[in-house]
Structure 1
Amino acid sequence: MRSVTLFGVYLALLAVPAPALLAQEADLPPLEEQSVEEDQSLKALRQVQAYMDGVESLEAEFRQHAPNGNVATGRLYLERPGYVRFDYTDETPFLIVADGTTLNFIDYEIGQVTKWPLKKTPLRALLGGSIDLASLQANISRGRPGLEDLILLSARDPENPEQGEITLYFMPDEAMPTGLRLLGWNVLDAKGETTEVALTDQQVNVSLDDALWTFEDPRGLTKRRRTRR
């Protein structure tokens, strides 16, 4: 693949109606006090918001499965707000870097750099904080067979549905500072094809070098290289 499918991500806060206060007539027996269970979707959203606020940086191994069956691996570096680097460590001649405002897709094999405004990519949901989540539109759901505690955040830009959908996967983990672990995500494009990214070997709130958000521009080089720096 020589391009990255980008998906707009918008997220709206879920709301739970507050319990009404019921007046009691003098001639009626007293009502038993009842507790209202917090809506599970709202609870899950709050957990994700806490994750976004509590995890300022992340480093992890990633494994990417493309729709055509190709598998690529590498190291992910992330720092909020707005910075990420997908450093492919196999023979994939690509590099993806977000420098706070722009997402850069660098192809070292053909000497090409493609740029997108970061705010118009799905990574906005991942690289922002709880304020960003509150200003977007998405669906929060919980559980899958055998994974009842799984939290899923799915989003599709209603104004540009052809850009597809992104789903982030979280799992409770008491070893993490916020009690949640980001397992990975998938993107479903307009053709109905899915690209999956899984994370392992995670370290959170680590110190990352500012040089990670820069890259060697391959345009104009006389010799194409498969290595990235």
Structure 2
Amino acid sequence: MKQLRLLLLLVPLGLAALAAPSHAQQLSLAAISQYLNQLQTATGEFTQINSDGTISTGTIYIKRPGRVRFEYAPPERSLVVAGGGQVAIFDARSNDGPDRYPLNQTPLSVILARNVDLTRASMVTGQTSDGTTTTVTAQDPDNPEYGTIQLVFTSDPVELRQWVITDDLGEQTTVILGDLATGGNIRDILFNIQAEMRSWQN
């Protein structure tokens, strides 16, 4: 599960260039939900700060609902793919194939859901604003034991800049993204775990 924490705790989308106006107002949960539901595809670079303090970098691909891909840059030889209701963690050092987990048992499911509704009872456990960013802490209200995801947004326009996942053991992983390119076409094959398994075996 440690690898899963490092990976899923990694899911933030960029705190680089937080250039929102200092007078920005706190975003409403309805506005944030609308933004996430309209975010169909996105690609960008990310920096991941792992729970042990190490740093990784790479490229993230998002295709909502239910799909995300983290490609880690060398010297790491790792890959994380979510698709088909599963999350698979590929590690070139392992000969046993990828570790696999149900997506709905990770905090990632909160933002990859087909219909994100942060106004749902008990989903949001905290919301703050520092005048520049709005931070929302969310969980699966039916399964809070799966952990939380803390989302950081700027406004005007609304953008997800970072997120921090805290797992059931209290360990945290932060992912910071550069600017996301949204609205482009991303091939479905990138989120096909079975195809990726065949590729790694060759």
TM-score of the aligned structures, taking structure 2 as reference length: 0.76
Q: 2:51 maps to which residue?
A: 67
Deviations 1:13-41 (A, max 9, x none): xxxxxxxxxxxxxxxxxxxxxxxxxxx87
Deviations 1:124-171 (A, max 9, x none): 122124445455711351313xxx131112124567655432201111
**68-77 or 93-102, larger mean C-alpha shift:** 93-102
- Report the 3-state secondary structure (helix = DSSP H, G, I; strand = E; otherwise coil) of the residue aligned with 1:217: helix
Q: 2:34 maps to which residue?
A: 50
1:185 to 1:109, Cα distance in 2 relative to 1, 3 A:
same
Deviations 1:52-107 (A, max 9, x none): 12211111101001122211101000011111100112222211111131111111
Distance in 1, Cα, partners of 2:82 & 2:141: 24
Contact 1:85/1:212 (8 A) holds in 2: yes
Contact 2:107/2:146 (8 A) holds in 1: no
Q: 2:189 maps to which residue?
A: 211
Gaps of 5+ in 2: 10-24
- Report the 3-state secondary structure (helix = DSSP H, G, I; strand = E; otherwise coil) of the residue aligned with 2:134: strand
- Aligned pair partner of 2:112 in 122, 127, 138: 127
Deviation at 1:185, TM superposition (A): 0.5
Distance in 2, Cα, partners of 1:106 & 1:185: 22
Q: 1:104 maps to which residue?
A: 88
1:128 to 1:134, Cα distance in 2 relative to 1, 3 A:
farther
Contact 1:170/1:181 (8 A) holds in 2: yes
Deviation at 1:47, TM superposition (A): 1.4
1:210 to 1:220, Cα distance in 2 relative to 1, 3 A:
closer
- Runs in 1 of length 4+ with deviation above 6 angstroms? none
1:4 aligns to 2:4 (yes or no): yes
Q: Which amino acid aligns with 1:121?
A: T
- Aligned pair partner of 1:88 in 62, 72, 75: 72
Distance in 1, Cα, partners of 2:142 & 2:82: 24
Gaps of 5+ in 1: 8-39, 174-178, 224-229
Distance in 2, Cα, partners of 1:106 & 1:197: 18
Q: 2:60 maps to which residue?
A: 76
CA RMSD of aligned residues (A): 2.8
Q: Which amino acid aligns with 2:66?
A: G
Q: 1:118 maps to which residue?
A: 103
Contact 1:81/1:127 (8 A) holds in 2: yes
- Report the 3-state secondary structure (helix = DSSP H, G, I; strand = E; otherwise coil) of the residue aligned with 1:206: coil
TM-score of the aligned structures, taking structure 1 as reference length: 0.68
- Report the 3-state secondary structure (helix = DSSP H, G, I; strand = E; otherwise coil) of the residue aligned with 1:48: helix
Higher share of residues assigned helix: 2
1:125 to 1:162, Cα distance in 2 relative to 1, 3 A:
closer
Q: 1:186 maps to which residue?
A: 164
1:207 to 1:220, Cα distance in 2 relative to 1, 3 A:
closer
Distance in 1, Cα, partners of 2:177 & 2:28: 20
Contact 1:62/1:73 (8 A) holds in 2: yes
Q: Which amino acid aligns with 1:124?
A: S
Distance in 1, Cα, partners of 2:180 & 2:199: 33
Percent identity of equivalent pairs: 30
Deviation at 1:199, TM superposition (A): 0.6
Higher relative contact order (CA closer than 8 Å, sequence separation 6+): 2
Contact 1:2/1:107 (8 A) holds in 2: no
The higher radius of gyration belongs to: 1
